[in-house]
Amino acid sequence: MDFLTGSCLCGRVTLRVPDDFEYMGNCHCSECRKFSGSDYAAVGGIDSAKFELTNGADNVSYYRKSAETDVAFCSTCGSSLFSRKRTARKHNIRLGILDDAPSARPAFHIHTASRASWSTICDDLPQFEHAPPQ
């Protein structure tokens, strides 16, 4: 199993995940837009047990955006790092923090009903107005 490393802008926080994402997609919801500061967030999901903070765990701040979900960011540089789902036991890694290229690619767009009006989707990936069908 290959592993991927990720890091924040200032480098204080580093993490490691296996190159084995269960899903990978682009989320256009308003919360991801706020948290990422961009028109959408490219995220890859993995079982929380496979996620490892390798450096700077005490430098990660968590914001509880709902009962289920915490979002994590570097306390020093503010980089958006990941969200963690408490009962689903998933970590959704913000793909922009990866230092290595994952073997998978984003395969869908979700929450396109909340897409920023100035943002254009320029690929042929499936689009879901809300969450993808289970």
Site residues for Zn ion per CB under 5 A: 8, 10, 12, 27, 29, 32, 74, 76-77
State phi, psi for 95 to the nearest 5 degrees. Answer: -65, -25
Which residue, 68 or 103, has its beta carbon nearer to Zn ion?
A: 68
State phi, psi for 52 to the nearest 5 degrees. Answer: -140, 125
Minimum gap (Å) between residue 104 Cβ and Zn ion: 18
Minimum gap (Å) between residue 85 Cβ and Zn ion: 12
Which residue, 12 or 85, has its beta carbon nearer to Zn ion?
A: 12
DSSP 15-72: EEEES--SEEEEE--HHHHHHHTSS-EEEEEEEGGG-EEEE-GGGEEEEE-SSSEEEE
Which residue, 17 or 71, has its beta carbon nearer to Zn ion?
A: 71
Minimum gap (Å) between residue 120 Cβ and Zn ion: 18
